[in-house]
């Protein structure tokens, strides 16, 4: 049995569109400690590619990504 990850902060970006979810994610990552998780909730279709690219480019890790209809949930671990 694995424990649920501890989420340091949650960003509710539902209803916000590009580039706002990306900007808020960038600020949210900076506000948490290394190895903590940021949860991002969004319904912006561009966010799927934008947030994966952001994590790869900045050296953070998308721990999980879930898509349910139009809603998406990212868990991003701050790595540095």
What is the residue-wise DSSP string for 49-79?
Answer: HHHHHHHHHHT-EEEEEEEETTEEEEEEE--
User: Is 18 considered catalytic here?
Assistant: yes
CA distance 9 to 11: 7
Q: How far apart are CA 58 and CA 45, in angstroms?
A: 21
**The one catalytic residue among 18, 62, 63, 75:** 18
**Catalytic site positions:** 18
């Amino acid at each position: 049995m694995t424990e649920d990850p501890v989420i340091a902060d949650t960003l509710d970006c539902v209803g916000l569109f590009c580039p706002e979810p990306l900007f808020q994610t960038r600020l949210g990552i900076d506000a948490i400690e290394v190895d903590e998780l940021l949860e991002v909730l969004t319904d912006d279709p561009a966010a799927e590619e934008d947030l994966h690219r952001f994590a790869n480019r900045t050296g953070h890790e998308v721990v999980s990504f879930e898509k349910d209809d139009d809603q998406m949930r990212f868990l991003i671990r701050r790595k540095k």
